[in-house]
Chains A and B, each alone.
Chain A
Amino acid sequence: MILTATSVILVISALLLVWVKSIMSSIKILALQSLFLGIACLALGAQTGSAELYVMAVLTILVKAILIPFILAATMRKINIRREAEKYIGRGVSLLLASGLVVFNYVVTERLDLILLVAEIQTLPHAVSMLLIGLFVMVTHKKAIMQGIGLIVIENGLFLLALSTALGMPFFVEIGIFLDVLVSVILISILSYRMDQTFRSISTDWLRKLKG
């Protein structure tokens, strides 16, 4: 129940990410999204009394809601670029398309449920929605750092799915995933910074040289 409610909030926050203009507010939304995920995890821990879930909740809040947004924001300040996210398509169309993805995904997972007999996984459509919205953010944005944000949205969706289907992955796996996500965000920041140094921009439009 907690998770279903949280998953709805997460999908809405992901849609909001498609809507907002400035990268800084995107980072804030991302932090908020992770915070919700952490709180849901905490509530689930209280419900089941599992110590592992408490640790994961604390880690989610520390790493995904505080540390990662901090790193991203610090990179943005260092680069000091025009703070607006540039996109290939307008905001209105983006939001429409992203919502379309959510609806489409409801229809598809509905039919999957019939075949798979796993109707209990209520969060599945929401998790897959976040995956699709994350991908959508990655393909429609020009600024490199937004592609990193899309990656974390996907990661949050998957974490939600793992929580709702199996109360999270085995503990060591979850720790490993956290580490991987953290290091990839650091790498994304470093690469964005270098892109800025090399091209005077972090627009991926500059990355067009390697072909064939």
Chain B
Amino acid sequence: MTGMLPLWTLLVPVATGAICYAAKGTRLIERVHLLGSTVTSALALGLVWRVSREGTLTALEQFFLVDALGAVVLAIIALVGWTASLFSIGYIRHELQEGTLDARQVKQYYFWYHVFLATMLAVCMVNNMGLLWVAIEATTIVSAFLVALYRKGEALEAAWKYLILCGTGIAIALLGVILLYASAVRTLGDTHDVHELLDWSFLNNPDIQLQPGVVGLAFVFLLVGLGTKVGFAPMHFWLPDAHSQAPTPVSALLSGVLLNCAMLVLIRFAVVAGHTIGLDEIRPLFIGAGLLSILFAFPFILVQQDLKRMLAFSTVEHMGIIAVAVGIGGAAGYAAALLQMFNHAMAKSLLFMAAGNLTQKYGTKQMARVTGALRILPFTGPVTLVGVLAISGLPPFSLFTSEFSVAAAGFAGGRPWVVAFMLAGIALIFGAMLFHASRMMFGAAREKPAAGELSRWSTWPLLLPLAFVAVFGLYVPPAVSGLIRQAAAIMTGGWAS
């Protein structure tokens, strides 16, 4: 049973989705949804726990492989996935009441929600790097269904842009995968079984030397292709559209989880390519993409009028910070990147869900029409404020700790200018975000809407990410930092099995 844990972790969400689709009656669907997502998250966390204690875990003749690197993202999926699934209940009920969604769309929502979770879980668990590509492409397609859930022109436009841009990007990444595989077949095909030549467990080995020219070319394609999916500027244009048009719980998943999955895939390919062409060749590419994303995000955040789009651009910024941390490298840089991934996922999912409450309450995504939120939403208001402060990197919250570690790793790694640029970007964005947030939070509350939260379902699930945001700023449990150290060791190229 325990050996089959990865398989169960995939089957449970798929089965839950199917039952939700077949079931009749909203209450029943909600119960199945809750039970399913709870079991999924428990299984995923069980996997993480086992990996952190026993090291890399394989199942089904190495079809599945979960190492510490995958486990970090797995933990993010489990936590954000569960929170968003609780939040979904309140959110979807409200949309059903308002008549924005009908019963059939609700069914579709819950079905695709769980299939989406399954595809992302697969990204963290498959061993074969070709299947890694298949899984990441599957996340695009499945989440495009969710982005297009609302039958509105804007939602259609967002889904279309998302599908076409990411589809093209991922196709370019496939070219990279093919070149990598071709090089492996050419160099090692005579002595090894071709079926294992694309396995992470095989390729992640410093002794393996492929053709440097081909691998270098392959990695450029992979960086551009997967970078589109991660949301690096200037390939990020799908991102604000998809994030703002998707149902809010899905926005939280897209921003907090999906992009991290894409980043995980990119990191895996970077490690593999690094064995042949040297990580030093690759790092500047990450730093460049990261800094560009941070600097690109600022003007869009400054002049933004739409709340969810502002959060989406802040995601572009944070993916940039993670990329810079990866580019700085070294055990410290990698650990900082992973910590930043986790902290950003918590804070951003918190903010998206809070933003969902604000938009449902005020009936608009325009920030100018949201005023006096602190008084009108006694729970969501303060939570949003805390979230904005945390996401801008203010102490004592978690993102301060991880961004500080990124900066420290950068100085230690002899890249002061990179850190200076990054911090300048972060500071500018801090100002812009705080400007928008203060206008929404303070300011005179109008007559409408009346004060009061929407429902229990839309408030207390936010406490989970909030706890992580608050606690991880002061104290990271040794179990977590141990796992992150293991994952960073994998990225530095050491075998951490």
Residue positions of A touching B, CB distance < 8 A: 112, 115-118, 121, 127-128, 131, 135, 138, 144, 147, 151, 154-155, 158, 161-162, 165-166, 169-173, 176-177, 179-180, 183-184, 187-188, 190-191, 194-195, 198-199, 204, 206-210, 212
**A180 and B182 contact, CB distance less than 8 A:** no
**A210 and B214 contact, CB distance less than 8 A:** no
Q: Is B455 an interface residue (CB 8 A)?
A: no
**B213 and A118 contact, CB distance less than 8 A:** yes
Q: Which residues of B contact A162 (CB under 8 A)?
A: 178, 181-182
Binds A, one of B36-44, B99-107, B168-176: B168-176
Of the A-B pairs whose beta carbons lie under 8 Å apart in the complex, a sample of 30, sorted by A's number, is A112-B213, A116-B213, A116-B214, A118-B214, A131-B171, A135-B168, A138-B168, A147-B164, A151-B167, A158-B175, A161-B178, A162-B178, A165-B178, A165-B181, A166-B189, A173-B131, A176-B130, A177-B133, A177-B137, A180-B141, A183-B138, A187-B145, A191-B148, A194-B151, A208-B157, A209-B153, A210-B157, A210-B158, A210-B240, A212-B309
A169 and B181 in contact, given A180-B137, A191-B156, A198-B153 (Cβ under 8 angstroms)? yes
Task: Tell me, rounded to whole Å, the shortest Cβ–Cβ distance linking A91 to chain B.
Answer: 23
The docked-state distance in angstroms from the alpha carbon of A188 to that of B163 is 8
Q: Which residues of B contact A184 (CB under 8 A)?
A: 137, 141, 163, 167
Task: Tell me, rounded to whole Å, the shortest Cβ–Cβ distance linking A81 to chain B.
Answer: 16
Q: Which residues of A contact B197 (CB under 8 A)?
A: 170
Contact of B163 among A118, A128, A187, A199 (CB under 8 A): A187
Contact of B156 among A128, A170, A207 (CB under 8 A): A207
**B151 and A198 contact, CB distance less than 8 A:** yes
Chain B, interface size category, equals 35 or more
Task: Tell me, rounded to whole Å, the shortest Cβ–Cβ distance linking A186 to chain B.
Answer: 9
Least CB separation from A192: chain B residue: B160
Task: Tell me, rounded to whole Å, the shortest Cβ–Cβ distance linking A112 to chain B.
Answer: 7
- In the complex, besides A117-B213, A131-B171, A210-B158, 18 extra interface pairs with C-beta distance below 8 angstroms are A112-B213, A138-B164, A138-B168, A158-B171, A161-B182, A162-B182, A165-B186, A166-B181, A169-B177, A170-B194, A172-B128, A176-B130, A177-B134, A177-B137, A206-B153, A208-B157, A209-B154, A209-B157
Q: Is B244 an interface residue (CB 8 A)?
A: yes
Q: Which residues of A contact B194 (CB under 8 A)?
A: 166, 170
**B171 and A154 contact, CB distance less than 8 A:** yes
**A173 and B198 contact, CB distance less than 8 A:** yes
Q: Which residues of A contact B152 (CB under 8 A)?
A: 198
Task: Tell me, rounded to whole Å, the shortest Cβ–Cβ distance linking B168 to chain A.
Answer: 7
**B141 and A187 contact, CB distance less than 8 A:** yes
The docked-state distance in angstroms from the alpha carbon of A95 to that of B22 is 49
**B154 and A210 contact, CB distance less than 8 A:** yes
**A195 and B171 contact, CB distance less than 8 A:** no
**A180 and B138 contact, CB distance less than 8 A:** yes
The docked-state distance in angstroms from the alpha carbon of A118 to that of B179 is 11
Least CB separation from B242: chain A residue: A210
Q: Is B303 an interface residue (CB 8 A)?
A: yes
Q: Which residues of B contact A128 (CB under 8 A)?
A: 175
Task: Tell me, rounded to whole Å, the shortest Cβ–Cβ distance linking B81 to chain A.
Answer: 21
**B163 and A170 contact, CB distance less than 8 A:** no
Q: Which residues of B contact A212 (CB under 8 A)?
A: 240, 300, 303-304, 309
Q: Is B204 an interface residue (CB 8 A)?
A: no
Q: Is B366 an interface residue (CB 8 A)?
A: no
Q: Which residues of B contact A172 (CB under 8 A)?
A: 128, 130-131
Q: Which residues of B contact A115 (CB under 8 A)?
A: 213
Would you give the 0/1 interface string for B141-155, flagging 1 where the beta carbon is closer than 8 Å to chain A? 100110010011110
Q: Which residues of A contact B182 (CB under 8 A)?
A: 121, 161-162, 165-166
Q: Which residues of B contact A138 (CB under 8 A)?
A: 164, 168
Task: Tell me, rounded to whole Å, the shortest Cβ–Cβ distance linking B26 to chain A.
Answer: 24
Q: Which residues of A contact B168 (CB under 8 A)?
A: 135, 138, 151, 154
Task: Tell me, rounded to whole Å, the shortest Cβ–Cβ distance linking A119 to chain B.
Answer: 12
Contact of A183 among B141, B174, B245 (CB under 8 A): B141
The docked-state distance in angstroms from the alpha carbon of A195 to that of B148 is 11
Q: Which residues of A contact B213 (CB under 8 A)?
A: 112, 115-118
**A180 and B134 contact, CB distance less than 8 A:** yes
Q: Is B211 an interface residue (CB 8 A)?
A: yes
Least CB separation from A175: chain B residue: B134
Task: Tell me, rounded to whole Å, the shortest Cβ–Cβ distance linking B179 to chain A.
Answer: 8
Task: Tell me, rounded to whole Å, the shortest Cβ–Cβ distance linking A117 to chain B.
Answer: 7
Q: Is B317 an interface residue (CB 8 A)?
A: no
Would you give the 0/1 interface string for B111-136, flagging 1 where the beta carbon is closer than 8 Å to chain A? 00000000000000000101101110
Task: Tell me, rounded to whole Å, the shortest Cβ–Cβ distance linking A25 to chain B.
Answer: 22
Least CB separation from B185: chain A residue: A166
Q: Which residues of B contact A171 (CB under 8 A)?
A: 195
Q: Which residues of B contact A161 (CB under 8 A)?
A: 175, 178, 182
Task: Tell me, rounded to whole Å, the shortest Cβ–Cβ distance linking A46 to chain B.
Answer: 19
A191 and B159 in contact, given A118-B211, A172-B128, A176-B130 (Cβ under 8 angstroms)? yes
